[in-house]
Every structure is written in structure tokens, then in C-alpha cells.
Amino acid sequence: MNIAMVSAHISPVASGSASHEGLRVHVAELARALGRQGHRVTVYTRRDGLGSGERVRLAPRVNVEFISAGNALPMSEQEVLPHIREFADKLAKRLADQGPDVIHAHHWLSGLAALSAADGLDIPIVQSFHGLASLQARAEGNTSPARLRMERAIGRGVAALIATTESESAELARLGVARPRIAAVPSGVDSEKFKPQGRALLPRSEAPRILMLSGHLAGHGVRTVIQALARIPDAELVLAGGPSPDELDGDQDVHRLRIAAKEAGVADRVTFLGRVEASDVPGLLRSADLTVSMPSYESFGRVPVESMACGTPVVVTAVGGHLDTVIDDVTGVYVKPGRPAELAHRIRGLLAEETHLAALGIGGADRVRARYSWERIANETVKVYESVRPAPEPAPEQATDESLEEFAVAS
């Protein structure tokens, strides 16, 4: 199958903004998995660097093509939006030339571009939102009204939608998308990279280690975890994410969190690592006794799944994608957002029961291997592609010798 992927504002070949790292990983790994299965994949993305070139090879049978739209600089989705028309016009020419069997748009900006570019080309579009504005608004109360309208229009305009969570599936139906057009296919994890076996990063003492890994340190429940630490004697908290290590001291979010740790009396037990390289994440996850993820809204939740893959149990808020990926008291435990006392109680209980903690780690690793391999995600995605492709026209009947003889006799 010839597949066109559209990732307008996030390039799969280089780390983008921290807030969309999960999207970058998803597009890149799904494209690679499809290529391994023999499909031909072209990912179209906006040029965000002067050295991007026209095309790069991501993997066998997988290429990334760059489209110039606006300045060749990294931009946020709000900054990219005014350039989507230019991106779509140039994308339309490439789609017409290459004639893919299906277009898979990732994120709402890509859906806008794909619908415009494919107008009149008779190519089916599959849309993955990777998080809906309406769900985020309900949990956090802040989103763009324009995005809300656009997501509803995109959902009704494409051939099929892939939701990464059951809550997203239900929300799409609430927005007016017919349920038969919605398929639930989660994101995946590289089980060769994220696995229990391997080196652990960072030397540690006998103190239990709690890890929190997040693209941004503002929000995401970091303050809740710091407050909970005051009720967990002797444990250490490692915070990874945010600015680069050499920019930590000048970062306002880090400054506020350090004050919060001091006020809670745990400043000597909190370590700020800053942004870590992707290659170091598995070792960092393996070094911890527990990984915590405390957002009030989560579209999928890549970090808990990667942690489970490494055999490290997770404590997560019972929201969004966490409800799909984590089975309460089997692969991890649920808590409610913004409740440090409850969080501390659950963590103390887990740290006091080493056997139960180990069982959660084994259960998590088993679940990821069984459900979240990229090969399985690719197989399920291809089924969606096949469902929207037009059925091939039947081949014209060939005249046989017998039919010719019958025709001659009848004549």
C-alpha cells in the first residue's frame, strides 16, 4: 500500500517541542513499522530548519518530505496555523503526483491541511487527533474555540478516525461522528528499547526512588508530587524534563518548584535533572522504584507505558489514556488528581510491600509486550486503511474457448 502521512507542525526526524514529543514518536515509529511490513510511506511535514533538504530517508520504504510554509524555523501550533493554507496548496501538488492509496493525518492542523489538499483527488483520509480540545477543556478549562470547531468539522469530513483511547472514541461520537467510522488503536512502545533488562541510569542510595518524567514542569501535577513527598519518609524524588540542565537555574517554573520543595521540607530529597536525551529515558525509568504521572488530562500517556515496559510500576491519575493503559492494582495504581495525601498513602503502601511492587512491575511489562508493540499497532492501523479504500472494480470477463464455441453454435 502507498501511504501518505501528514504531520504538519511536528517533524518525525528531529525532536520537536516537548509538548508534542509523543506525537513525534508516534508518527516516526508507526511509519517505520508500516515500512517493515512492506508498505511505502511518505511523511509530509513543514520545513522547520534551513538544513532540512527536500527529502530524507527515515527507514527502508519510509521517506520524509519537507514542505516550505512560512519561515523555516520551529513554530508552535498557533504560529503554524496561518501557514496551513500554503502548506496544503503545496501538499496538494505532491499528492496529485504520487497518488497515494490513503492519507493519514496526525493532529488537527494536519487534518485541516489534508482535507484541503485532497479536495477533488478522491483519496480517502484517516484522521488521528492525538487528543481532543473538548476533552482538554473539560479537564483543564483552557482551549481554543476555533480548534473546537475545526475538530468537529474534520471529524465529519474524513473517511475514518483513529482514536488512541476509549474516552476519545466516546467523545468523537458525542461530537457527531458515526461510531462505525471510529476505530480505537492506541499508540505503541519500542519493546526492544524499553524493557526490564538493561543498564539503569544515575547512581542511587538505599532510599526509594520516585520518578516523574514530563515534557514541561509547569502543571502536570508536579507540585502535588512534591507535597506528597513530605508524607513519604526517606524517599527521593527525581524530576526529569523541562529546560536543558544548564538552563535550570534560570527557569521560572523550576524556581517556583524549588520554593515549593523548600516549603514542604523536602528540598534535599528532590533532584531536578532537566531535559534528558531520548536514549537515556529507558535507563532512567529502570533506575526508579516507581514512576508517577499526575496530569488532570492525558490524551494517551506515553511515559507510564514506557515505564511499565521497563518493569517499573506506575502511579497515575485515573484520567484519559491512563484508564486504558494502566489496569488498577494489576500494572499500577490509580489516584485522583491534586490530592497529595492520597498519593502519599498509595506510594507508602506500595513501597512497604516489595512483593506486590514486583508483581505490578511484571504485570506492566507483560501487558506492554502483549498490547503495545508497534507491529500490532501497525496491523490494526492497516485494517483501518483497508476499510476506507474503494473496492477494486471487478476485472472484465475473459472469453473462454467454450464460450466462443457456444457463440459459434448459437450463430
The fold of the 2-188+373-388 domain, in CATH, is Rossmann fold (3.40.50)
Report residue 73 as a C-alpha cell.
Answer: 524555523
Report residue 200 as a C-alpha cell.
Answer: 539503569
CA-based torsion, 381, 385, 391, 396: positive or negative: negative
CATH class of 209-371: alpha beta
DSSP secondary structure, 336-352, as one string: -TT-HHHHHHHHHHHHH
Mean pLDDT of 103-112: 97
Which amino acid type is present at position 256?
Answer: R
Using the predicted structure, report yes or no on whether residue 399 has a pLDDT greater than 50.
Answer: no
Report CA 320 to chain centroid distance, whole Å: 13
Distance from C-alpha of 91 to C-alpha of 114, rounded to nearest angstrom: 8
Comparing C-alpha atoms, which of 116, 135, 15, 21 is closest to residue 69?
116
pLDDT level of residue 396 (50, 70, 90 thresholds):
low
pLDDT level of residue 139 (50, 70, 90 thresholds):
confident
Direct distance between the N- and C-terminal alpha carbons of the chain, in angstroms, rounded to an integer: 46
**Rg of the chain's alpha carbons, rounded to an integer?**
24
CB 322 within 8 A of CB 299: no
pLDDT level of residue 408 (50, 70, 90 thresholds):
very low
Distance from C-alpha of 58 to C-alpha of 316, rounded to nearest angstrom: 33
Q: Are strands 2-6 and 332-335 parallel, antiparallel or unpaired?
A: unpaired
Q: CA angle, 313 as apex, 309 and 316 as ends, to 5°?
A: 105
Which ranges of 82-132 does DSSP label H, i.e. alpha helix?
Answer: 84-98, 108-117
pLDDT tens-digit series, residues 252-310: 999 999 999 999 999 999 999 999 998 999 999 999 999 999 998 888 889 999 999 99
Could you tell me the pTM of the whole model? 0.90
Domain(s) of CATH 3.40.50.2000: residues in the chain = 2-188+373-388, 209-371
Using the predicted structure, report yes or no on whether residue 354 has a pLDDT greater than 60.
Answer: yes
Q: HSE of 57 in the Cβ direction (CA atoms, 13 Å)?
A: 4
DSSP secondary structure, 259-300, as one string: HHHHHHT-GGGEEEEES--GGGHHHHHHT-SEEEE--S--SS
Burial of 118 (0-12, 13-18, 19+ CB in 10 A): buried
Task: Among 277-291, 318-332, 396-410, name the one with the lowest average pLDDT.
Answer: 396-410
Using the predicted structure, report yes or no on whether residue 327 has a pLDDT greater than 60.
Answer: yes
pLDDT tens-digit series, residues 195-204: 999 999 888 8
Report residue 367 as a C-alpha cell.
Answer: 501487558
Mean pLDDT of 145-150: 87
Mean pLDDT of 135-155: 84
Which ranges of 99-245 does DSSP label H, i.e. alpha helix?
Answer: 108-117, 133-140, 145-157, 166-174, 222-229
Mean pLDDT of 51-69: 90
Query: So what's the pLDDT on residue 403?
Result: 45
Distance from C-alpha of 5 to C-alpha of 25, rounded to nearest angstrom: 14
